[in-house]
Structure formats: C-alpha cells, structure tokens
Amino acid sequence: MLVRLTQRLLVSLLTLMGTAVLTFVLVNAVPGDVARVMAGSKASPAVIQEIHEKLHLDDPFWLRLARYLGQVAQGDLGRSYVTSQSVSEAILSRFPPTLALATTAVVLWMLLAVPVGVLTARFRGSWLDRTILIFATLSLSFPAFWLARMLQYWLSFKLGWFPVAGLKSFRHLLLPGATLAVLYVGYYSRLIHANMLEVLESPHIRAARAKGLPELPVLFRHGLRNAWIPVVTILGMDVSSLLGGVMFTENVFALPGIGTLAVQSVLNLDVPMIMGTVLFGAAMVLATNLLVDLLYQWIDPRIQTGR
C-alpha cells in the first residue's frame, strides 16, 4: 500500500512539473507585453523598459522557465506581477469560498440525484422516469453563465429569496450552489440510474428480494453500494475541477474564489498568478484522484486485494 502510494505521489509530482512547463510555454506564447498591461496604454517607453528589467522579462525563455521551476521546487509560486501579492497567499485566501461553494453544490446535487437516480431505475419506463429524463436533458443543456444570471435575476433580484451577490453568510452560497447543482444533477441522476439498472439485474439483488427484504434496503443498501463506484470516479473528477475554480458561477455571484482569481489573472496576463491557479487546479485533480482510489477500497475491498 505504502509503495503504491509513494509511486502515485511521484507520478503526481512529475505530472505537476509537466503541467508547469506546458503552461509556462503556452502563457509565454500569448501575444502581448505584460509590462504594457501593468503600466497601461499611457505609460512611457521608459516605464515599460523598467518593468521589463524589474521582472526580467527580457531574459531568454529557457532562463525564465528554469528560474520559475527552481522557485516552484522550493515551494515558492512567486508574486503577482499586477498586485505584488504572494501567489500562494492569494490562492489560499481564495480557496475557502471555492471549497464552500463546491461543497454546497455537491451536497445539493447528490441529495437530489441519488434518490432520483435510484427511483427512476426502480420505476424504469414510468411517467416519473420519462419526466425526470426531460429535466435531466434540460439540466445538461443549460450554459452555466446563462443559468447563473437567470437564477440570480429571478430568484434574487425579482423575488428577493436570496442575496444577489457577495459572500457574507451561508445564505450567499445557496443560490450559486443551487446553480451548479442544477447543472450537475441531471447528469448524476442519469448516471446513477444507468448503474442501478445494471445492478438491479444482478443475482445478489434477486437473492435479497427472494429472501423477502423490504424494497428500500434492497435498493439503497445492496443496490446503490454496487452502483456507486463509477459515480465516485466521475464525482472525483468533477469535484476536483470545481475546486480548481468555478469561473462563471463565481464571477456572476461575485464570489472571491479561485475561479475569479483565474479569470482576472488571465485578463491581466499576470503570468505567476496564471501559473499558480493552473498548478493549483492540477494539484486538486491529482489529490482528488488519489482520494478516489482510496475510496474505491473502502467501497469495494476486493479492489485492494485484487479478489
């Protein structure tokens, strides 16, 4: 177990390094002069030159890359070109709102998706199943920015049920969380539905029913547990991408999370901050994948022992 974990960690580090190199190459390929963005269109050539010197922007590409990788290897993500803030500090200060939003959203959509997925599998082909299928298709089709703005306009602005924007209390998270939940609930309910259909046909379910177990324990204890593994895999990937920042939703609801930070850093061509947010997102994906692997073993111990 320990060896496997160590191997996974090493591979993760290499992946992070690869991500860093690739992102650095791409960011530096973007046309435009970061000094101009920082100084504004009215800055004199002398000021632009001074910024170039201050940030070593005229150094050869490989030297800047080597310097950056050396810095990252020491755990230093550098300082923002625009605000001079430490990148690590900026990311850490933005992580709690993103984590809170992601948690709220996951809880909301799973609370809905699990019973809906199980029940539509149990009553396959019924009017309930067909109606849910229509809603699931709609939920999958909504563009995030449109849905966020619509919910904000109608539920917050027109009806006043939720705060319009900002993050002052848990209430401020409900609507952004619900927005994400609407976007994901359709997919997860269908995913659980599909897996449950397969599981409900398996011999152990028939055996449980034959033994006279009530239907709810059959569905949720014996059925859902076996349908859970593919769901956990996908959930892990989705959670990791949410933790890396939810750009549209955070921007519409003015939540100071990783997503808004990433958008701002791209608009400002703030290279250290772009690198930082991308690496953080990558680290989240790697960490969540590791966690999902561990969860598999808890859900189905045969995975660990190879039975």
Partner 1 sequence: MRTPKMGGCAGLRVACAALFLLLLGTFFTAAAGAPKRGGTLHLGFPEDFKSLDPAFGFTINTMPVQRILFESLLDMDDDNQVIPWAAREWRISADQKTYTLRLQPNLRFSTGRPVVAADYVYSIERILDPKTASLGQSYFSSIRGQDAFRKGQTNHVAGLRAPAPDVLEIDLEQPQFTFRFVLCMVFTAAVPREAVESPNSRFSQRPVGSGPYLIKEYQRDVGYRLERNPHYSRLDTAYVDSVEIMIGGDRTLEAMMFDQGELDMVPDLRVTDYFRYRRHPVLNQRLVMVPMASTDYVFLNNEIKPFDDVRVRRALNHAVNKRRLVQLANPAFPVAKGILPPTMPGYDPNLTDYAYDPEQAKRLLAEAGLAGGFRTQFYYGDSVPHWKRLCMAIAEDWSQVGVHADLIQLSAAAMDDAYTTRHKIPCGYYGWVQDYPDPSDFLDVLLNGEGIVETGCNNQAFYNNPQVNAALKEAGNCVDPPRRNALYGAIEKTILRDAPWIPILHPLYPTVVQPWVKGFKPHPVWLYRYETLWIER
- Which residue ranges make up the site for partner 1 (CB under 8 A)? 30-34, 36-48, 50-51, 54, 82-85, 90, 93-94, 149, 152-153, 156-157, 160, 164-167, 251-256, 260-261, 264, 267-269
Task: Please identify, using beta-carbon distances, which residue of 9 and 92 lies nearer to partner 1.
Answer: 92
Give dist(CA 279, CA 36) in Å, integer: 25
Q: How far is the CB of 176 from partner 1 (least distance, A)?
A: 12
Q: Nearest to residue 255, comparing CAs of 182, 175, 183?
A: 175
Q: Are 146 and 179 in contact (CB under 8 A)?
A: no
Give dist(CA 120, CA 193) in Å, integer: 6
Task: Please identify, using beta-carbon distances, which residue of 1 and 46 lies nearer to partner 1.
Answer: 46
β-bridge mates for residue 86, sequence order: 79
Q: How far is the CB of 155 from partner 1 (least distance, A)?
A: 12
Q: How far is the CB of 46 from partner 1 (least distance, A)?
A: 7
| Dmax (CA) of the chain | 85
Task: Please identify, using beta-carbon distances, which residue of 50 and 129 lies nearer to partner 1.
Answer: 50
Task: Please identify, using beta-carbon distances, which residue of 262 and 283 lies nearer to partner 1.
Answer: 262
Q: How far is the CB of 60 from partner 1 (least distance, A)?
A: 19
DSSP string, the chain: -HHHHHHHHHHHHHHHHHHHHHHHHHHHHSSS-HHHHHH-TT--HHHHHHHHHHTTTTS-HHHHHHHHHHHHHTT---B-TTT--BHHHHHHHHHHHHHHHHHHHHHHHHHHHHHHHHHHHHTTTSHHHHHHHHHHHHHHHS-HHHHHHHHIIIIIIIS-SS-SS--SSTHHHHHHHHHHHHHHHHHHHHHHHHHHHHHHTSHHHHHHHHTT--HHHIIIIIIHHHHHHHHHHHHHHHHHHHHT--HHHHHHTT--SHHHHHHHHHHTT-HHHHHHHHHHHHHHHHHHHHHHHHHHHHH-THHHHT-
Task: Please identify, using beta-carbon distances, which residue of 167 and 219 lies nearer to partner 1.
Answer: 167
Task: Please identify, using beta-carbon distances, which residue of 115 and 163 lies nearer to partner 1.
Answer: 163
Task: Please identify, using beta-carbon distances, which residue of 31 and 214 lies nearer to partner 1.
Answer: 31
Task: Please identify, using beta-carbon distances, which residue of 85 and 88 lies nearer to partner 1.
Answer: 85
Q: How far is the CB of 200 from partner 1 (least distance, A)?
A: 46
Q: Categorise residue 33: left if φ over 0, alpha if ψ from -120 to 50, beta otherwise.
A: beta
Q: How far is the CB of 261 from partner 1 (least distance, A)?
A: 7
Task: Please identify, using beta-carbon distances, which residue of 115 and 256 lies nearer to partner 1.
Answer: 256
Q: How far is the CB of 299 from partner 1 (least distance, A)?
A: 39
Q: How far is the CB of 285 from partner 1 (least distance, A)?
A: 24
Q: How far is the CB of 258 from partner 1 (least distance, A)?
A: 11
